[in-house]
Amino acid sequence: MTIPTDNPLFVIPISTGIVFIVVGFIMLKFPPKKINSLYGYRTASSMKNQERWDFAQLYSAKEMIKLGIILGVSGLLGFIVHLNDKTATLIGISYMIFLVIVLLIRVEYAIKKKFNSE
């Protein structure tokens, strides 16, 4: 069995999953210490105060790693599903965007749940 490096249903989830995992580990190891506009999980709710910021960085890093693993595993679909390149690319990119939205929703929900009294 050869690796389907020409199948977007393999390449997009695998490569994006690796990026998510690497970025997640970098953010776990080197989280941004202070609220900034360059590096880290930056939304209005995460930047309200330092406590929220610190929580959001740790939580989003862990979620990125989880979603990166899910992306990577789903890339194995490329071994068994063979579609035309346009369709496979559209599905791969749509799935990646969907998981980015899932990341945002999960982190924002966790921030809201933890800091609901503010």
The model's pLDDT over 85-101, given as tens digits with 9 standing for 90+, comes to: 999 999 999 999 999 99
| Cβ neighbours for 44, distance < 8 A, ≥ 6 positions apart | none
| Residue extents of the structural domains in the chain | 8-114
Inter-residue contact 5 to 85 (CB < 8 Å): no
pLDDT band per the 50, 70, 90 thresholds, residue 118: low
Contact present, 24 and 62 (Cβ < 8 Å): yes
pLDDT in tens, 1-60: 688 888 999 999 999 999 999 999 999 999 999 999 899 999 999 999 999 999 999 999
Distance CA 42, CA 20 (A): 16
**Reported confidence tier of residue 104, pLDDT bands at 50, 70, 90:** very high
